[in-house]
């Protein structure tokens, strides 16, 4: 089964944070999650859509493999301009949450991020919208 998630932000980093929170909320009710621990996540991509997909895949890895669920995200670095020599876009974020507790968290497994793209180009006027399709 697939589920589409989407998010809008005033900036590209804000939209990336919001869609990652939507991914975690698809798996675990965020109202049941405490800010007891943190995880660091880094992602790279050749452009904004590739960075978005890599970002969501890294968040999914933290959730599925490390057994961590998140309720807050601080974007520490969001470098949207590819650097000289073909350096990729990159981000570094801190995820605040806790390890999954089966006694408190009802977990809906997410198998994969199938698609991730920008709905509204951040270079244009107005807010930035992003979306992704999850295999649940």
Mind listing the pLDDT tens digit for each residue in 96-126?
A: 999 999 999 999 999 999 999 998 766 677 7
pTM score, two decimals?
A: 0.94
Task: Please write the tens of the pLDDT for every residue from 48-64.
Answer: 999 999 999 999 999 99
Quote the percentage of the chain above a pLDDT of 90. 86
How large is the average pLDDT for residues 74-83? 88
Q: At a CB cut-off of 8 Å and minimum separation 6, what does 87 contact?
A: none
Please, what are the domains in the chain? 2-135 (3.55.10.10)
DSSP character at residue 87: B
Residue 30 pLDDT greater than 90, yes or no: yes
């Amino acid at each position: 089964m697939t589920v589409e998630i989407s998010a809008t932000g005033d900036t590209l980093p804000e939209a990336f944070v919001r869609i990652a929170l939507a991914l975690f909320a698809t798996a675990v009710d965020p109202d049941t999650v405490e800010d007891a621990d943190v995880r660091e996540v880094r992602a790279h991509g050749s452009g904004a859509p590739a960075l978005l997909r890599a970002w969501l895949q890294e968040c999914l890895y933290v959730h599925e493999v490390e057994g961590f669920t998140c309720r807050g995200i601080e974007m520490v670095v969001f470098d949207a301009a590819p650097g000289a020599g073909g350096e990729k876009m990159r981000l570094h974020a801190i995820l605040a949450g806790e390890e999954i507790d089966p006694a408190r968290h009802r977990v809906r497994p997410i198998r994969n991020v199938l698609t991730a793209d920008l709905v509204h180009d951040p270079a244009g006027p107005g807010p930035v919208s992003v979306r992704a399709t999850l295999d649940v």
